[in-house]
A and B are shown apart, each in its own frame.
Chain A
Amino acid sequence: EAGVAQSPRYKIIEKRQSVAFWCNPISGHATLYWYQQILGQGPKLLIQFQNNGVVDDSQLPKDRFSAERLKGVDSTLKIQPAKLEDSAVYLCASISNTEAFFGQGTRLTVV
Chain B
Amino acid sequence: QQQVKQSPQSLIVQKGGISIINCAYENTAFDYFPWYQQFPGKGPALLIAIRPDVSEKKEGRFTISFNKSAKQFSLHIMDSQPGDSATYFCAASSGAGSYQLTFGKGTKLSVIP
Q: Is A25 an interface residue (CB 8 A)?
A: no
User: Bound complex: CA of A73 vs CA of B3, how far in Å?
Assistant: 31
Least distance between A42 CB and chain B CB atoms (Å):
3
Question: Which chain A positions have C-beta within 8 A of B91?
Answer: 42
Chain A proximity mask over B89-108: 1 for CB below 8 Å, otherwise 0: 10100000101111111100
Q: Is A102 an interface residue (CB 8 A)?
A: yes
Cβ–Cβ contact B100 & A48, under 8 A: yes
Cβ–Cβ contact A105 & B43, under 8 A: yes
User: Most chain-B Cβ atoms within 10 A of its Cβ — which of A42, A56, A93, A105?
Assistant: A42
Q: Is B113 an interface residue (CB 8 A)?
A: no
Cβ–Cβ contact B99 & A93, under 8 A: yes
User: Bound complex: CA of A91 vs CA of B103, how far in Å?
Assistant: 13
Least distance between A11 CB and chain B CB atoms (Å):
15
Name the one of B6, B41, B46, B105 contacting A100, with C-beta atoms under 8 angstroms: B46
Q: Is B61 an interface residue (CB 8 A)?
A: no
Cβ–Cβ contact B45 & A41, under 8 A: no
Cβ–Cβ contact A56 & B100, under 8 A: yes
Within 8 A of B (CB), among A83-111: 91, 93, 95, 97, 99-105
Q: Is A31 an interface residue (CB 8 A)?
A: yes
Q: Is A33 an interface residue (CB 8 A)?
A: yes
User: Bound complex: CA of A56 vs CA of B44, how far in Å?
Assistant: 21
Cβ–Cβ contact B42 & A100, under 8 A: no
User: Most chain-B Cβ atoms within 10 A of its Cβ — which of A41, A100, A105?
Assistant: A100
Within 8 A of A (CB), among B20-75: 34, 36, 41-46
Cβ–Cβ contact B99 & A42, under 8 A: no
User: Most chain-A Cβ atoms within 10 A of its Cβ — which of B4, B43, B104, B105?
Assistant: B43
List 8 tightest A-B contacts by C-beta distance, closest first. A42-B103, A102-B43, A100-B99, A102-B44, A42-B89, A95-B99, A104-B43, A43-B103
B interface, CB within 8 angstroms of A: 4, 6, 34, 36, 41-46, 89, 91, 97, 99-106
Given A31-B99, A43-B89, A93-B43, 11 further pairs, Cβ under 8 A? A42-B103, A42-B104, A43-B103, A44-B103, A45-B102, A48-B100, A56-B100, A91-B44, A100-B34, A100-B99, A102-B44
